[in-house]
């Protein structure tokens, strides 16, 4: 009897260890497995140009996802990042095309608008006690409407026809245009990931955010100014969404209608996938980057295999659901 109990315990221990191994390394193993499968299907997948293309394609997703990661660190959730990116995208291009401003003023105007959104989000969440998911969902539609109103529902680009019938005379600066190209777009992404990783992991402010996200009452009892750090989190979330929108503008050189909205789902997926990377069990910048890499490889490989674009959301949604299932099962 005793031997059977011991055997059962050993089986449970082994199964738990196996689950823990896949929880910790599953995302990274999946990346290598996908690389092997896609390379076998199409050898050009692992060529240098394609790998650089993947890094370039995930740069904007990663930057926006980093903002979501910061909001998650205080147990918040910012769904307005896609619309904030769209607004920043529209403002920065319009500063060049409509008002003939220089790069500094154009970027400053876009970031200022985004920070105002972040300040409004944090005020309504912290002071008015509106649940963050509901509030940022509402703000997503409001900011999306503001961006559409600002651009009058039109694409903003050089030499566009203005309402008075004349052509826009503003020109996008060559320096700004270079920010969205290789290698700068990748360098900016890496700098953002490293900066936020250091901030969350090695500074007291980042540790305070994790304490708030883990147990808000314990944080308050410890003397941590909870409301202040929640405000900071939503401001940083808006800031990185704005940077993502600005880099998107530099990459495509136009302000498309709702340009940032398609990045929301991928960014959310990357942030949640990052929970399990190396067993972190919490939002973290490195994990978010790995999550973005997984999504980028999956999307690039599926395109090379001629999978219809309308099926990609099904696959990405499945990956997100799987990541959430593993994360919340582990947390439970």
pLDDT average, residue stretch 309-323: 78
In a domain, 297, yes or no: yes
- pLDDT per residue over 195-237, tens digit each? 999 999 999 999 999 999 999 999 999 999 999 999 999 999 9
pLDDT interval class at 318 (50, 70, 90)? confident
pLDDT average, residue stretch 132-139: 96
pLDDT at 290: 95
In a domain, 186, yes or no: yes
Q: How far is CA 62 from the centre of its chain?
A: 5
Q: How far apart, in Å, are the Cα atoms of 127 and each of 2, 218, 230? A: 58, 20, 11
Quote the DSSP letter at residue 165.
S
- pLDDT per residue over 228-265, tens digit each? 999 999 999 999 999 999 999 999 999 998 999 999 99
pLDDT average, residue stretch 134-153: 96
| Adjacent-strand bridge partners of 161 | 167
In a domain, 18, yes or no: no
Number of domains in the chain: 1
| Mean pLDDT taken over the chain | 91
pLDDT interval class at 10 (50, 70, 90)? low
In a domain, 126, yes or no: yes
In a domain, 9, yes or no: no
In a domain, 222, yes or no: yes
Half-sphere exposure of 173 (CA within 13 A, CB side): 15
Q: How far is CA 193 from the centre of its chain?
A: 11
- pLDDT per residue over 38-96, tens digit each? 999 999 999 999 999 999 999 999 999 999 999 999 999 999 999 999 999 999 999 99
pLDDT at 319: 76
3-state DSSP helix/strand/coil % of the chain, to nearest 5: 80, 0, 20
User: Which among 284, 263, 280 has a CA at the least distance from the CA of 327?
Assistant: 280
pLDDT at 260: 94
Indicate whether this model's pTM tops 0.85. yes
Residue 5: Cβ within 10 Å count = 9
CATH of the domain at 183: 1.10.3470
Task: Give the burial string for 259-281 (b: 16+ CB within 10 Å, else e).
Answer: bbbebbbbbbbbbbbbbbbeeee
In a domain, 11, yes or no: no
pLDDT at 327: 66
- Among the ranges given (234-238, 292-296, 311-315), the one the predictor scored with the smallest mean pLDDT: 311-315
Tell me if residue 261 falls in helix, strand or coil: coil
Which domain range does residue 190 map to?
29-331
In a domain, 218, yes or no: yes
């Amino acid at each position: 009897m005793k031997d059977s109990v011991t055997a059962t315990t050993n089986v449970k221990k082994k199964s738990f260890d196996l689950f823990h191994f896949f929880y910790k390394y599953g995302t990274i193993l999946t990346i290598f497995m996908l690389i092997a499968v896609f390379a076998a299907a199409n050898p050009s997948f692992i060529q240098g140009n394609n790998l650089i293309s993947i890094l370039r394609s995930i740069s904007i997703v990663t930057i926006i996802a980093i903002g979501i990661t910061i909001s998650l660190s205080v147990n918040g959730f910012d769904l307005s990042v896609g619309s904030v990116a769209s607004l920043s995208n529209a403002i920065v291009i319009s500063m060049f095309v409509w008002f003939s401003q220089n790069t500094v003023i154009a970027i400053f105007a876009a970031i200022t608008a985004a920070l105002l959104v972040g300040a409004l989000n944090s005020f309504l969440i912290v002071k008015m006690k509106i649940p963050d998911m509901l509030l940022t969902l509402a703000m997503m539609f409001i900011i999306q409407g503001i961006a559409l109103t600002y651009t009058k529902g039109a694409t903003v680009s050089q030499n566009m026809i203005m309402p008075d019938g004349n052509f826009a005379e503003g020109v996008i600066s060559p320096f700004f245009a270079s920010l969205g190209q290789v290698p700068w777009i990748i360098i900016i992404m890496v700098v953002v990931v490293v900066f936020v990783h250091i901030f969350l992991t090695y500074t007291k402010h980042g540790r305070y955010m994790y304490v708030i996200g883990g147990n808000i009452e314990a944080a308050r009892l410890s003397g941590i100014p909870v409301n202040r750090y929640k405000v900071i989190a939503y401001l940083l979330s808006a800031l990185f969404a704005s940077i993502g929108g600005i880099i998107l503008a530099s990459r495509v050189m136009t302000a498309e209608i709702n340009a940032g909205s398609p990045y929301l789902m991928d960014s959310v997926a990357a942030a949640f996938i990052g929970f399990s990377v190396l067993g972190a069990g919490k939002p973290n910048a490195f994990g978010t980057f790995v999550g973005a890499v997984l999504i980028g490889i999956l999307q690039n490989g599926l395109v090379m295999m001629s999978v219809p674009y309308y099926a990609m959301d099904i696959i990405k949604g499945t990956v997100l659901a799987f990541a959430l299932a593993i994360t919340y099962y582990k947390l439970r």
